[in-house]
Amino acid sequence: AQSVTQLGSHVSVSEGALVLLRCNYSSSVPPYLFWYVQYPNQGLQLLLKYTTGATLVKGINGFEAEFKKSETSFHLTKPSAHMSDAAEYFCAVSEGQPGNEKLTFGTGTRLTIIP
Amino acid sequence: SQTIHQWPATLVQPVGSPLSLECTVEGTSNPNLYWYRQAAGRGLQLLFYSVGIGQISSEVPQNLSASRPQDRQFILSSKKLLLSDSGFYLCAWIGPASGRPWFGDTQYFGPGTRLTVL
């Protein structure tokens, strides 16, 4: 079974500072990896995903993540935090075939931006 | 473009009462559909998925059931709610990213239903 661990349920950064949200996964097969963002009382929005190929993945809103197989990590970063980045972020790994992905999610990291 | 709807947005129900949550998808046909639950302080857990009308797979044993009476309709039900059924229920489907072709097919989520069982 696949699993995801997100280190730090709450992260606070100052506006303009680097954002780093950590995600480690376990998988017996090459994983598909995802980051989703959830704004208050809304559903999840896909930020980025890794399937194959380039290990540095760029997503929306200036976020990117790097797949490191040796470390089984897929950390999410953004060079400069903006107030609008305050939300909850979920890392996920997929099971199943492409087109019928069954996602296993981490417990989430709530990001707070300090003015 | 494709959209996914869920209703109601919020629901407060007494223990032992029945439940019916509805999810519909527009702008696509024969989508794979998913129900997830987000319990307080926990990540999202996949409850059910469906690859077609009448085809339901359950991922975890529980007090809930799902049905897919139409191609773009996915319903989550319970005959008698438990306190532990409280949570945020999200429906999702797989499709192409609108305006972002580099994402490929992936899961897109509805706005969710927040259920409180008292």
B107–A101 CB contact, under 8 Å: yes
Contact B44 A105 (CB under 8 A): yes
pLDDT of res. A75:
97
Q: Which residues of B touch A60 (CB under 8 A)?
A: 100
Q: Where are the beta strands (DSSP E) in B8-61?
A: 10-13, 19-26, 33-38, 44-52, 55-58
Quick one: average pLDDT of B44-69? 90
B14 touching chain A per CB within 8 A: no
The answer to whether B43 contacts A4, with C-beta atoms less than 8 Å apart, is yes
Q: What distances in angstroms separate CA A107 from CA A38, A54, B23, B38, one per listed residue?
A: 12, 26, 24, 9
Contact list, B114 vs chain A (CB under 8 Å)? 41
Cα radius of gyration (chain A): 14
Measure Cα distances from A109 to A9, A56, A87, B45, B98 in Å.
Answer: 4, 21, 8, 16, 26
Q: In chain B, what is the greatest distance between 2 CA atoms, to the nearest angstrom?
A: 46
Mutate to test the interface with A, among B6, B11, B25, B38 (most CBs of A within 10 A): B38
pLDDT digits (tens, 9 = 90+) for B83-104: 999 999 999 998 766 666 666 6
Tens-digit pLDDT profile for residues A35-91? 999 988 777 889 999 988 889 999 999 999 999 999 999 999 999 999 999 999 999
Per-residue pLDDT at B76: 97
Instruction: For residue B93, give the DSSP letter.
Output: E
Q: What is the mean pLDDT of residues B55-60?
A: 89
User: Which member of B43, B104, B105 has the closest CB to residue A90?
Assistant: B43
Candidates B42, B46, B112; nearest CB to A103:
B46
A10 to chain B: nearest residue by CA? B41
Q: Residues of B with CB below 8 A from A93's CB?
A: none
Condensed to tens digits (0 to 9), the pLDDT of residues A15-36 reads: 999 999 999 999 877 888 999 9
Do B111 and A46 lie within an 8 Å CB cutoff?
Answer: no
pLDDT (average), residues A94-110: 81
The answer to whether residue B100 neighbours chain A at the CB level (below 8 Å) is: yes
